[in-house]
Every structure is written in C-alpha cells, then in structure tokens.
C-alpha cells in the first residue's frame, strides 16, 4: 500500500534538491519523522507526517531517476542514457 509523506529539507541540501529534483523522479530519503496535529477550520482534528531532512538526513536520486513519462503514449517511463550522472546529494556541505 502506498503512503505519501511531505518531505521538508533544510540548508544546502534544500538548495541542491531545488536544483536537481524534478516531479516524477524516484528519490530515497532518510530523516526523522515529525508528526503534526492541528484543528482544521471545520473543527475536525487533522494530522500529517513529515520526513525532515536536515544536517543528519540523507537524500539520493535512484538509478534511472529521471522524470517518468506517464502519458498514454509512453507508459513505463523514459530513460535517457545520454544524461550526465547526478551528484551525490550527501556530498554537499552541511
């Protein structure tokens, strides 16, 4: 079963993510989980989980991590073997 989580990235890692990450990429994150709870405007209690990537967190683009083509013509993704490799996101200064 798929679960979706918000990812919160801080510092130089956030700058690198903004530069290299695109919607549809396969990504790997290791960080601490932050649980948020609040009361919505309708009075109901709401909650969500965030994975926080800070100085102690990790993030990587997975092999074949380019954005996937999800159009009816191209189901199954796109791979471009001519693209340069992505940098290791954990090599950026903290």
Distance CA 73, CA 61 (A): 25
pLDDT higher at 9 or 94: 9
Q: Is the dihedral of CA 14, 20, 23, 29 positive or negative?
A: negative
pLDDT tens-digit series, residues 4-35: 789 999 999 999 999 999 988 899 999 999 99
Residues 84-88: what's their mean pLDDT?
52
Q: Which domains does the chain have, with CATH numbers?
A: 6-77 (2.40.50.140)
pLDDT at 81 over 50: no
């Amino acid at each position: 079963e798929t679960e979706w989580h918000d990812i919160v990235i801080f510092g130089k890692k956030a700058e690198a993510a903004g530069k290299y990450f695109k919607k549809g990429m396969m990504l790997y994150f290791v960080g601490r989980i932050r649980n948020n709870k609040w009361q919505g405007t309708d009075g109901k209690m709401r909650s969500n989980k965030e994975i926080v990537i800070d100085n102690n967190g990790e993030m990587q683009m997975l092999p074949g991590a380019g954005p996937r083509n999800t159009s009816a013509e191209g189901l199954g993704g796109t791979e471009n073997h001519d693209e340069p490799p992505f940098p290791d996101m954990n090599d950026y200064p903290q």
